[in-house]
Chain A
Amino acid sequence: MPASAGIGLRAPHVSRILREHPRVPWFEMHSENLFATGGSLHDAMVRIRADYPLSLHGVGLSLGSVDALDTAHLWRLAALVARYQPGLVSEHLCWGAVGGRHSNDLLPLPFTEEAVSLLVSRIGQVQDALRRELLVENISTYLRFQEGDYTEWDFVAEVVRRSGCGLLCDVNNIYVNSVNHDFDPSMYLRALPREAVREIHLAGYTRKEGLPVPLLIDTHSRPVDEAVWALYGAAVARFGPVPTLIEWDQDIPELEVLLAEAARAQEVLDARRACAA
């Protein structure tokens, strides 16, 4: 996977990408959107994959659930990985289902030893099934549980260290959580294991109005905020130039808007490379 700035591949842009072959270093696709055996999206993906590197990003495996891993879900992912040979495969450090019921959302875990052990075991199962490294992503949260065994950043670092997986560092999520839970985001970056970071995500958030405290929602519906760009600069300074993705999932704009955001991220990556040279 090139250490460049790619964009999330979303349905409204597919036909234009097939027609115009824009200069994009790589695309990321939500794994579950390709879980059907066929359809026009697969037809398009075969052609896009022939021309671009690809990353698969899962949202439904529910790594942190006390339910056993859904093996049907896991094997569908394995089949997708075999079919498209993505450069990176990632999931979220969260849970989403219990007792067979799914929220289909990314729900927060308590930062406890019990949760770390569970995640380490589940990540091991996934890596064994896929026979490759899984990246795990830190999520945005709007609540946190009473004091656990770890801070959030130590929790993430411990899971990565003990499972041997890679880390997808979502810089926007770190910023959103730093506002929602009142901490210094640079401290979070410093705690993450630099050698495990394989990818960075950037996205836009919205501010929930009318509340007595500031609360940011990770909506992926807006341009990357200036404060997040600043934190991204710090992340690239610490982790080096790693593949960076612009995510945009709601109110999806024209492709040019995503390309412009990716170009700005590319400038940061290029500057870091020039600095290291």
Chain B
Amino acid sequence: MHVVPALLELQSRFLDALYDDAEAGPTEALVGAGLDPAARLRIYRHAAAQIHADALRATYPALLALVGEAFFEQVGVHYRRAHPSRSGNLQAFGAHFADFLESLQATGTLPYLGDVARLEWQRQQAALAGTAEALSAGVVGEAFAGVDGAVRIALHPSVRRFASPHPVLSIWQYAMQPSPGRLTLPEHGDRLLLWRSEAEVAMAPIDAASFACIGALLCGVTLDAAHAAARAKDSAFDLPACITSLVAQELVVAITPVHRKEHPACA
């Protein structure tokens, strides 16, 4: 009779077998009872692989549509070996998928795939980000009227920026809702603003100066510093229009006066 190994050895060998088909697992410690112990272990191997594949499918629907089921599944198998799940919370699985995709020779002819994956990861982060009450236009107006000096503007926790040399928004939209005929892609890349609106994640292209301004605000610098960052991209940048647009999208959640001379630097 075989003795059941200690838990550390048992669990290590069991998990090795779930991640790698070549690992037999602790089959000598299993009761077959009419079935090959290896076949019993394969039920768990298949289930774990399916759980991780489903998690990737849920996070990367556009990517799945672009590359097709078979390729997506194959990449998923290699991905979970290279980047095993590190959390009991599946929402964290898939964080390295974009970099992994770009490391594959097979995706070399589709250089935008990595950024489509990054965009989808950012969409998931926006969907799961915290909640904050937006300031109305009236409250924002009163806040500015009552402040004499520097202010900081806090944006909704779901706000994200994403830039790519590829037209990822058009690609993502085509993947999610394919239209008949051939897709003509813009020749430029995208700068996008992402945020959660009700239960959906919204995405909108923004210009380089607004991108810089919002990036600076997200870093927590003063509005003056954010304005300077935007003007470095476009000397004609219209700050009131940019802030008005953010307020209209219900993305401004706090305006606070800055009392200290020291302002945080934006990395």
Q: Which residues of A contact B (CB under 8 A)?
A: 32, 35-40, 42-43, 59-62, 65-66, 70, 73, 76, 95-105, 107, 109-110, 112, 114-115, 118, 142-148, 181-182, 208, 211-213, 215, 217
Contact = CB atoms under 8 A, between A and B. Distances in A.
Contacts of B91: 32, 35-36
B21 to A, nearest CB: 15
Contacts of A105: 18, 44, 47-48, 51
A97 B85 CA distance: 9
Contact of B52 (A70, A104, A145): A104
B11 A60 contact: no
Contact of B86 (A98, A100, A115): A100
A102 B4 contact: no
A117 to B, nearest CB: 10
A35 B90 CA distance: 10
Given A98-B15, A99-B12, A146 B43 contact: no
A114 B6 contact: yes
B247 interface: no
A109 B29 CA distance: 12
Contacts of B86: 100-102
A61 to B, nearest CB: 6
A41 B29 CA distance: 43
A102 B88 contact: yes
B31 A143 contact: yes
B30 A211 contact: no
B102 to A, nearest CB: 23
B57 to A, nearest CB: 14
A43 B12 contact: no
A217 B87 contact: no
Query: Chain A interface mostly helix, strand, loop or mixed?
Result: loop
Interface of B: 1-4, 6-8, 10-12, 14-15, 18-19, 29-31, 33-35, 37, 39-41, 43-44, 47-48, 51-52, 55, 84-91, 93, 127-131, 157-158, 196, 198-199
Given A99-B12, A143-B43, A212-B35, 14 more contacts: A37-B130, A40-B127, A43-B131, A73-B87, A101-B86, A102-B84, A102-B87, A105-B44, A114-B6, A115-B7, A143-B31, A146-B1, A182-B33, A211-B39
B128 A142 contact: no
Contacts of A181: 31, 33
B1 A147 contact: yes
Contacts, number: 147
Residue among B84, B93, B157 with the highest chain A CB neighbour number at 10 A: B84
B88 A118 contact: no
A38 B128 contact: yes
Nearest to B36: A212
A104 B157 contact: no
Contacts of B55: 104
Nearest to A108: B44
A143 B85 CA distance: 23
B43 A73 contact: no
Nearest to A36: B128
B89 to A, nearest CB: 5
Contacts of B34: 212-213
A65 B88 CA distance: 12
8 contacts: A32-B91, A35-B89, A40-B199, A70-B87, A101-B15, A101-B19, A107-B44, A182-B33
Contacts of A70: 87-88
B51 A104 contact: yes
A91 to B, nearest CB: 10
Contacts of B158: 38
A145 to B, nearest CB: 5
A32 B90 contact: yes
A38 B130 contact: yes
Contact of B84 (A40, A42, A101): A101
Nearest to B51: A104
A152 B135 CA distance: 57
Contacts of B131: 37-39, 42-43
A37 B157 contact: yes
A4 to B, nearest CB: 30
A114 B29 CA distance: 16
Given A66-B8, A101-B85, A107 B157 contact: no
Contacts of A102: 84-88
A101 B82 CA distance: 11
A32 B129 CA distance: 15
Contacts of B37: 143
Contacts of B85: 101-104
